[in-house]
Amino acid sequence: MNIMRAKEIAESPIMANVTYDGTPIYIQHVNEGSKTARVYSLENPDNELEVSLNSLMEHF
């Protein structure tokens, strides 16, 4: 996923259908410098992860 799209999703009040490793996630914050995002699984919101933007997939 590119940086601009990830930032749009993170800042939008509308939930986008994004997955990390097949798991639906919510993007909390995008770090442009490291090209990563802080995310959490919708199934387990207490488990935050810092993941590469390349590993995120948006489903339409």
pTM exceeds 0.85 for this model:
yes
Give the H or E element holding residue 20. Answer: strand 18-20
Give the pLDDT of residue 5.
Answer: 98
- Which residue do the tokens 């997955």 mark? 19
Class of domain 3-58: mainly beta
Domain boundaries, the chain: 3-58
The sheet with strand 56-58 has its strands ordered as 48-52, 36-41, 23-31, 18-20, 56-58
pLDDT tens-digit series, residues 5-55: 999 999 999 999 999 999 999 999 999 999 999 999 999 999 999 999 999
- Which residue do the tokens 């986008």 mark? 16
Give the pLDDT of residue 34.
Answer: 98
